[in-house]
Amino acid sequence: MDNYNIQRKEIEAIYGKVSPFELKNKLLSLAEESKEAGAHSLLDAGRGNPNWIAAAPREAFFTFGQFALQESRRVWSENDLGGMPQRSGIAVRFLNFIRKNKNMPGIELLD
């Protein structure tokens, strides 16, 4: 617990004096030290652009976006504009969307 308090005081002391990048590097360093002390691994997805993506959640997100656009256009559709989806009954419409679009990428994560 003492190590935790020392690290916290150190972070609080330097927070206003360093750039966000220096702070990020310090936090990563502290996380690495903590990882070495235990059995947990650190997934650092914050350094630059990773050379991987989590494809399934991204597919589900874009499929959900298709539902959102469909809902918007259902209310009002004029050129590039869509309306504000109606809350009433949206859950039923979403379940119907899933049922009718079983082959869309990522749909199984939305079901």
Q: Tell me: the pLDDT tens digits for 14-33? A: 676 777 777 778 778 877 77
User: Right CATH number for 55-110 from 1.10.20.110, 3.30.1360.40, 3.10.310.70, 2.60.120.380?
Assistant: 1.10.20.110
Q: Domain limits of the chain? A: 2-37, 55-110
pLDDT of 27 reads 78
How far apart CA 54 and CA 52 sit, in angstroms, is 7
Q: Which two tokens stand for residue 110?
A: 């939305």
HEC string for the chain? CHHHHHHHHHHHHHHHHCCHHHHHHHHHHHHHHHHHHCCCCCCCCCCCCCCCCCHHHHHHHHHHHHHHHHHHHHHCEECCEECCCCCCCHHHHHHHHHHHCCCCCCHHHHC
What pLDDT shows up at residue 93? 98
Q: What pLDDT score was predicted for residue 49?
A: 65
Q: How far apart are alpha carbons 23 and 51 in whole angstroms?
A: 24
Per-residue pLDDT tens over the stretch 64-97: 999 999 999 999 999 999 999 999 999 999 999 9
End-to-end, the C-alpha distance of the chain in Å comes to 43
Q: Tell me the average pLDDT across 4-16.
A: 70
Q: Which of 44, 22, 35 is nearest to 11 (CA)?
A: 22
Residue with the bigger pLDDT between 79 and 6: it is 79
